[in-house]
Amino acid sequence: MVSYEMPMDKIRQKAIITENISIAPGVYSMWLETGTLQEAAPGQFLLLYLPDRSRLLGRPFCIAELKENRIRVVYRAAGAGTAELSRLTPNKGVYIEAPLGHGYPLDEDIIKGRKIALIGGGLGAPSLLFLAEELKEKVTAEDSIRVVLGYRDGSMKRFLADDFISLGFETVISTDDGSEGIRGNVIDALKETGYSPDLIYACGPMPMLSAVKKYASDEGAAAYISLEEHMACGVGVCLGCVTKTVKEDPHSHVRNARVCTEGPVFDARDVEI
């Protein structure tokens, strides 16, 4: 059923940049302050509109942290738009739409008594940081959590890893070339630790998510993965950001779920990636 209780001014709002710093080559950490208290769930995302109005589309970023009315975004300067974003200095205002999409399921019956792994590759780590903060509040002594973060190499300065460690979570690092942590990908690193999760939350590049899906299927673990796709509207209208699903869904009827609306987090078993 359609909900009518969200006026435009509730999701579209002006945000002031309070910090925008480089934390690794090409990777930036930005804090944004909005006028009102924010509500969002881990895994939800925002669209950020750039001041250069010839760049019309909002940039989708996951919410890396949320503290009352302050939102953290960690992003890579991948193109001209995000390069413009990286040059914005504190006190500059930008428009954002938030929160959008459906995040990681965190119901008690899903997480209780589970061996949980948070698996992030590259720019997938930010989405898991917000999740880790939320999980810290929810987990009990019966639960266990490990974090596995994969990077290209040591030059990426294992960005955000210390944020997870300071939450008290055991955090394993892998790099493709072994220049930091375990040599190999995140699945190699997970296996090497001997930890066998039965619940996985993952965000990262598509090949990594495919590997996580396969690992979860082989090991009989549940896995929730956050997908990324090019989008225009962010609210389910343009049909730009679809992903193939196993079953016919009630919206598209052609097995094309919208990453922005039904996702970005999906049960790995439900998507064909």
Partner 1 sequence: MKDSKDRVTDISTEVGFAGHVFRNPVTVASGTFGSGIEYSRFVNLNALGALTTKGVSAVPWEGNPTPRVTETPSGMLNAIGLQNPGIEVFIERDLSFLEDYDVPVIVNVCGHSIEEYEAVVERLADDDRVAMLEINVSCPNVSKGAIQFGTDPALLSEVTKRCRAKAKDKPVIMKLTPNVTSIADMARAAEAAGADGLSLINTITGMKIDIYKRRFAIANKTGGLSGPAIHPVAVRMVYEVTHAVDIPVIGMGGIASAEDAIEMMMAGATMIAVGMINFTRPDAVTDIIAGIGDFMKKTGVRDIKEIIGVL
Could you list the residues that contact partner 1 (CB under 8 A)? 2-8, 11, 49, 54-58, 81, 229-233, 235-243, 251-256, 261
Structure tokens at 25: 């080559």
- Report the nearest approach of partner 1 to the CB of residue 241 (Å): 7
Q: Please, which residue, 98 or 116, has the CB nearer to partner 1?
A: 98
- Report the nearest approach of partner 1 to the CB of residue 147 (Å): 29
Report the alpha-carbon angle 167-116-41, nearest 5: 65
Query: Bridge-partner residues for 145, per DSSP?
Result: 116
Cα–Cα distance, 244 to 257 (Å, whole number): 6
Q: Please, which residue, 110 or 246, has the CB nearer to partner 1?
A: 246
- Report the nearest approach of partner 1 to the CB of residue 57 (Å): 5
Handedness of CA 71, 74, 75, 77 (dihedral sign): positive
Residue 57, phi-psi category: left (phi > 0), alpha (psi -120 to 50), beta (remainder): beta
- Report the nearest approach of partner 1 to the CB of residue 98 (Å): 14
- Report the nearest approach of partner 1 to the CB of residue 164 (Å): 30
Q: Please, which residue, 145 or 265, has the CB nearer to partner 1?
A: 265
CA 19, chain centre distance (Å) = 20
Strands 45-49 and 27-34: what pairing? unpaired
Q: Please, which residue, 190 or 209, has the CB nearer to partner 1?
A: 209
Q: Please, which residue, 23 or 235, has the CB nearer to partner 1?
A: 235
129 membership: H or E segment, kind and range: helix 125-138
CB 211 within 8 A of CB 190: no
Handedness of CA 272, 61, 63, 236 (dihedral sign): negative
Q: Please, which residue, 187 or 238, has the CB nearer to partner 1?
A: 238
User: Under 8 Å CB-to-CB from 87, ≥6 apart: which residues?
Assistant: none
- Report the nearest approach of partner 1 to the CB of residue 61 (Å): 15
